[in-house]
Amino acid sequence: MNKVYKWLLAVGVALGAAACDEQSVPNIDDLMSPEDSVVVSGEGLQIHDIKFSDDYKVMTVSARLLHDVGTYDLTDSAMVNVDVQQEVKLISGQTRQETQPVVTGVTNVSREQVAKLKMRLLVLVDLSLPQSLVDEERDAVREIRTLFGDQNLFLSFMQGDNVSETYQATDYVINNYFVHHDPDYTYLYRSILTKFSELQDKSTVLGSARYKVMLILSGGKTYDGDQPIDPKHFEMQQQLADKVKEGRGQLLAYYSNFAEKSTTNQDSLFMVPGKQADANIMQYFCKDMNGLWQGEFNWPEIEDDIMKDFNVNYSNYIITLEQPDNKVFRGNRHNLQLTFRDVTNNDLIVTGSTFFYLGSVYAPIIVNGGSTLDVIIQGFIVLFVLLLVTWLVFQLLEPYIRYQIFKRKYVNVYGGNKMSFGGQMVAETCYLCKAPFVEGDEIVTKCKHTMHKQCWDENEYHCPEHGRHCKEGSHYYNSKNIYDSRNALFYLKWIFVAIVSGFVAWFLYTILDHPVSTYIVERIVLLINGLKDGTKEAELSVAEYGSRLTYLPAFGLYVSFYVTLFLSFLTIRRRQWHLRILEMVIRAILAGIASFFCCVVGSIIPIALHLDSNSFLVDWIPWALMSWVIMFAITYATRTRIEKVFLVAACIIGFLSMFIWSVVYTYSFLDYRVALLMSFITYAVCIAVSIARVAPRSERYFLHIEGAVKEMDVALYKWMRTSPDHVVTIGKSVDCSLQLSWDLNGNVAAVQAEIRQYVGSMRLIALENGVYVDNDKPLPIGKEVWLYHGRHFTIGNTSFTYVEKDN
């Protein structure tokens, strides 16, 4: 897979956005009311977008604060911890912890925008208030700083008839300057006017800002009893009114009243003479300067207003996370929760969650995973290890164990006459050599034809009557040559072929792209949902189902084609080589196409029913259907009879293979894609074993003879066992295994032909002219032909048919 499949399932994002549309941003007032404090401690962080870098390593989460987090600066890691909780939702519906991404950065987008906008805020702080209120002012400034940072936040302190110079809001200033000073009044209007001029003066730091904001934190005290505090009170009032006209549009002004709680309510304000007028003046001032007047400090309200005025997104954060290397996304739903906590006491500040889908089972996304080459190399290693282990087990270990059991049960030491075994009297002489047993002889009592162990071995590990009359009298184990292929279980070659077929299917599936498969599934998604290509909905819908399903048909095609191709090699027997291969290919192509459509159908079901694409059905139906298609394709019109049990087996294989992949991946160190190889191989082996179970084992083969003699079947397999070197000769000579004594007129040589047995196949070799195969084609001397089931040959007037019978 050169091109990493890039569909990102944005369901979570889409739903998040939809939810956001419905509810809109909750009203700040609602959130701030005491009854809603529970909500405030809940999900206050709305995650509205997730983006991934091209390599899927970096994840960028955009979030919005739904409520105020006070003085906490979420971007300050010395103050705030971020807990990341990413969990994967399994098919069973359960969730499981996974390796967690790491937070690499939290940025406040609003703050960056504020900085970019060259927006500066000046806070006028009233130090004439009691220390408790000054402390509250300090908290307010800290809160403001979370948005403006110390670069764009400035402070100026009012106290008595004095207003200080402008300071940058550094930690030092905030920690040291908020101290109450007597007298307990300020020249409020005068201070405002001074700073107003500074803000208008382009040569000052504040004045040079593009966007300017002034915030006044004050008790608002301008009268002492009936007398204004400032001697020039009314003059200042007038000047302030004038300033509004020239300053409008250049800066925003806000006012927050800081007073003892008992006196903050409007009634008490209005009861004090002059106060009402003052409050009104400040209210008009702020209103005219496009700002707000607050009876009590409420930063979110001010922040919201500033942001609206300057078209800045409100309280947006970008949290960047890095997914660990080699992390695999397989299309499961991943829930992500981000929780900000206080570093010192671990108190919850704010939390938010979302979910996302990424990759798919059939086209996983692996973060900085090994290259395709690495994976292929690992795949080859797995292949060789598996072949070796299979060979060791089925060629050496299993036959050896079976032989030891056989020896323990049936090989005994002769203990004199009247010895009985399994309730049966043991004969006194060897069935093969007829010699009487002597005490201490090793004898084999596998069947009633008791023999010397030596005679048994020499007679190719079975009794002379083995066959129709003695079914149990055999246990092949060549202890002199443990590599004898007949020692191995009959299943060995099936398993070998299956392993190779699984590997080839995996190899091609892994290195190739699958555009046709992708195209078809995407079309289906659009068609079923009635969507037009290129629209936003289409993109979402394709992402939702497509990413998981697009590779599925290709997957089915590869698995079916190669498993059928290789395994049908073992079931097709009746053709010549080129025809045999042709038939294998045709079966494989048909199986491949059928499976492709099984998987397309498997894709349609979840799309049409709008099922969660992680549904059990998505995997199980195509796998089960495919298994059946493959088994049918391999056995149709062969001597292997398809059985009802195949249907059950198909379902079980489909079911099993689904899990083997994730099990292998979860409990081994293998790359996810290599784990897929294990799944392919398991699948192929299961199918192979199911078929092998009912396949004829070709252990009993005959020559059907007709023509010059009464029709008969000659048990060729028996002769092969007893004849040296596994050669049966045919001719007129008495030395021949099969003497054609009945053919008096035919032209038959003394030794006309021989049949040789190779591993798993019979060959006919002409030693003299006069052997005809198939439709009377003469077989040249020395030329070998393969005898397959049903093949004819003629010698003299006798016609032979090679027949394999089951059981």
Nearer to Zn ion, 48 or 449 (CB): 449
Q: How far is the CB of 449 from Zn ion (least distance, A)?
A: 3
**Binding segment toward Zn ion, per CB under 5 A, in 449-457, 661-669, 675-683, 785-793:** 449-457
**Cα separations (Å) of 437 from 413, 453, 472?**
10, 11, 22
Whichever of 227 and 479 has its CB closer to Zn ion, that residue is 479
Nearer to Zn ion, 470 or 585 (CB): 470
> By CB under 5 A, what part of segment 650-689 binds Zn ion?
none
Alpha helices in 153-203 (DSSP H): 171-176, 188-200
Q: Which tokens in the block code for residue 204? A: 């000052």
CB of 470 to Zn ion, least distance (A): 3
Nearest by Cα to 427 from 405, 409, 446, 454: 446
Q: Which of 449, 493, 573, 791 binds Zn ion (CB under 5 A)?
A: 449
Least Å from the CB of residue 473 to Zn ion: 3
Name the token pair of 606.
């979840």
Nearer to Zn ion, 432 or 751 (CB): 432
Contact set for Zn ion, span 471-530 (CB under 5 A): 473
Query: Of the two residues 317 and 410, which places its CB atom closer to Zn ion in the complex?
Result: 410
Find the distance separating the first CA and the last CA of the chain, reported in whole Å. Answer: 48
Give the nearer residue to Zn ion in terms of CB position, either 238 or 420. Answer: 420
Least Å from the CB of residue 459 to Zn ion: 9
**Smallest gap from residue 719 Cβ to Zn ion (A):** 17
- If the CB atoms of residues 386 and 430 are measured against Zn ion, the closer one turns out to be 430
**Minimum distance, C-beta of residue 726 to Zn ion, in the bound complex (Å):** 21
Q: Which is nearer to Zn ion, 169 or 447 (CB)?
A: 447
Residues 450 to 479 in contact with Zn ion, rule: CB under 5 A? 452, 455, 463, 465, 470, 473
Q: How far apart are CA 214 and CA 244, in angstroms?
A: 13
Q: How many residues bind Zn ion (CB under 5 A)?
A: 11
Q: Where are the beta strands (DSSP E) in 247-327?
A: 251-257, 293-294, 316-322
Closest separation in Å from C-beta 474 to Zn ion? 8
Letters for 428-447 (x = contact with Zn ion by CB under 5 A, - = none) are --x-xx-------------x
According to DSSP, residue 160 is labeled B
Q: Given the complex with Zn ion, which of 471 and 783 has the nearer CB atom? A: 471
Question: What is the rounded CA–CA span in Å between residue 13 and residue 737?
Answer: 81
How far apart are alpha carbons 663 and 675 in whole angstroms? 9
Strand ranges (E), 102-226: 102-108, 119-126, 153-159, 162-163, 167-168, 211-218, 223-224
Q: Are 147 and 71 in contact (CB under 8 A)?
A: no
Query: How many Å apart are CA 281 and CA 253, to the nearest integer?
Result: 13
Q: Closest Cα to residue 583, out of 644, 634, 521?
A: 634
178 versus 410: smaller Cβ distance to Zn ion: 410
Helices (H), 609-761: 616-635, 645-666, 672-694, 716-722
* Shortest distance (Å) from residue 461 CB to Zn ion: 12
| Cα separation, 59 vs 12, whole angstroms | 14
CB of 460 to Zn ion, least distance (A): 13
- Asked if 41 contacts 348 with a C-beta cutoff of 8 angstroms, the reply is yes
Closest approach of Zn ion to the CB of residue 453, in Å: 9
Q: Which residues are registered as beta bridge partners of 157?
A: 125
Residues interacting with Zn ion, by CB under 5 A?
A: 430, 432-433, 447, 449, 452, 455, 463, 465, 470, 473
